[in-house]
A = this chain, B = another copy of it.
């Protein structure tokens, strides 16, 4: 089969399946999800065996070693019993969520008696393009199925055996439950040409979500004719206001930076009001350094903390994802907001303050996708914010902004009930 024929076959099947998944009752979807979770756990040995083939190929480095993966990538690729149990638990969590399909979010009456409302419906078919983590196969399929969508999954070539094994188990569980198996399809060949062809099928795919590094996201959004939810980098800020409680300021700064450094919602820049420069800042910097954080400071920071590295202009827009923190002293809330607008990435910012006017001004004026008061930036996450699960974090404003759960996989239609209502 040519790539073109293959792609037409996949997208046609997805479109046909989506007409059926959009109508599935909640109990049928939930039963299918619970069955998927059970079958994944029952097949642990089989999944670990398939995963071993991927790990071996990745360690060997393919043809000539060019594809050899490093330690963290191998770690992400690996499946073991606890990870499979975690994947199954994630699918059960999705089953436990409220069904978004059919929810009427608002309803109102018009003067002529027409009762108008908006009702949630699935988007249709969703293409997920991801890299080395095979557990995404189950996560993404579960969220899309619960929201009534058909999914086309295109995993990384390094995880091809694992992904194929997981997808086959999911499809078998769907068939068992009378759900069309084409509700979840895995692209059988991870060739790039197939991705390019998929990205042209705007009549049969409604949304593309690339999950992976910036290079993947840029490549997909440049080529796609289909809307893309982009999740670019997180240059998150903590701003310690002049009215911050000193202990809370310290706690939130340290938690936002250090609780986990390799994730997009960890803080990369600390902004400190000048009134705290001689009181809170020196101790905080020395504590951060004691925890192993390399502090890159502005001139005013360095005049108080001379052992810190000098920050360059590039540091203000850097997503370190490591134990490094840029620190700048600012004169006012205005200056803090200007800094965030200039260097931020629309991800997550937090103010620490006891002053209600400062808090509300920060919330009102900062239009990043998550804006917090007296809370760690690490809460910018679908689970932590109460969405139940997360398919990504959108840093572009169209359709969805910020952590995205199943609601982001739906849209709303208008519905109206009349009584023979005619336009005059």
**Residues in A lying within 8 Å of B, measured CB to CB:** 19, 22-23, 102, 108, 110, 114, 116, 119, 121-124, 206-207, 221-222, 225, 227, 245, 247-248, 251-252, 255, 259-260, 341, 359, 363-365, 367-376, 378-380, 384-386, 396-403, 411-423
Contacts and interface: CB of A to CB of B under 8 A. Distances in A.
Contacts of A368: 413
Contact of A255 (B373, B376, B423): B423
A411 B397 CA distance: 6
Contacts of A421: 374-376, 379
Contact of A411 (B248, B379, B401): B401
A387 to B, nearest CB: 9
Nearest to A341: B19
A374 B112 CA distance: 13
B116 A376 contact: no
Given A206-B396, A251-B422, A375-B417, 16 more contacts: A102-B364, A121-B367, A207-B398, A247-B420, A252-B420, A368-B413, A369-B414, A370-B414, A371-B413, A371-B416, A373-B417, A376-B423, A379-B423, A384-B423, A398-B399, A402-B413
20 contacts: A110-B384, A121-B367, A247-B420, A255-B423, A259-B422, A367-B413, A372-B415, A372-B416, A374-B418, A374-B419, A374-B420, A375-B416, A375-B422, A376-B423, A378-B422, A380-B414, A384-B423, A385-B414, A398-B411, A402-B413
Given A251-B420, A398-B399, A119 B363 contact: yes
A114 B415 CA distance: 35
A385 B416 contact: yes
B225 A227 contact: no
A378 B423 contact: yes
Nearest to A119: B363
A378 B423 CA distance: 6
A399 to B, nearest CB: 4
Nearest to A359: B417
Contacts of A399: 227, 398-399
A247 B419 CA distance: 12
Nearest to A364: B102
Contacts of A225: 221-222
A411 B395 CA distance: 12
A130 B102 CA distance: 35
A124 B123 CA distance: 24
Contact of A370 (B102, B251, B386, B416): B416
Most buried by B among A123, A369, A401, A418: A418
Nearest to A365: B23
Contacts of A401: 411-414
Contacts of A124: 397
Given A252-B420, A421-B376, A423-B379, A398 B397 contact: no
A180 to B, nearest CB: 16
A114 B375 contact: yes
Contacts of A379: 114, 416, 418, 421, 423
A302 to B, nearest CB: 28
Pairs of residues from A and B, 7 with the lowest C-beta to C-beta distance, nearest first: A375-B418, A378-B423, A248-B420, A397-B411, A375-B421, A399-B399, A255-B422
A132 B230 CA distance: 35
A259 B423 contact: yes
Nearest to A380: B414
Contacts of A116: 385-386
A247 B422 CA distance: 12
Given A227-B398, A379-B421, A398-B411, A110 B385 contact: yes
Contacts of A385: 110, 114, 116, 414, 416
B403 A414 contact: yes
Contacts of A415: 363, 370-373
A413 B110 contact: no
A415 to B, nearest CB: 5
A87 B423 CA distance: 22
